[in-house]
Amino acid sequence: MSEFNLDEILSKLPNPERDYVLALIERDPLTGAHNRKSFNDYMAIQNSRMERGEGPLCLIMLDVDHFGKYNENQGHQGGDLALQKLVSVVRSTLRPHDESLIFRYGGEEFVLGFGGETAQEGRNIAERLRSAVEKECDFTVSVGVSDSLIAGENMENILATADRALYCAKHSGRNQVMTYENLSKMPLMKIGVRF
């Protein structure tokens, strides 16, 4: 198989076709959220930004509560519509200055990244998102928040600590926001082990 240069190929396409191909490469076709490839690219950019000392990175992970049961009750088409609605609500709830992208990380799990924001600022955004979903949807979400100030500047650690906070939000009653820094205040038996 011969190698090809995607940038070179894209540069030869007219704008509408180039935009369409980029959307196929970078977006989840069901929800329109950015996909895992886009997330990996985003994390590489944020890593470079942090190495230049341009401030922290905050990650917010959210997951639909009881999505398996939701699919059982509503059918898979209903589940698909729920994920589309979730992305729509998140987009409409974010403020222009939030400057974030929403990524479909897997299944019913999504990640938002905020360059220059701390976990406390991220918690405020996350609570706004959680509340909007609760009001506008027939399901709820659990949310985990972490940042590079808490987890260090290792991208995997930031993601892992946001995931751990999400896991604890789910196992502490769901429909809530948990920051990784708050886990130290929880009894050990409530934190559980995920890794």
Enumerate the active-site residues: 108
The Cβ of residue 5 has, within 10 Å, a number of other Cβ atoms equal to 8
Rounded to 10 deg, the angle between the 36-51 and 155-171 helix axes is: 120
- Sheet of 109-115, strand order: 101-106, 109-115, 57-64, 141-147, 177-179
Q: Could you give the maximum distance between any two Cα atoms of the chain, in Å?
A: 58
CA distance 152 to 123: 18
Structure tokens at 90: 């998140």
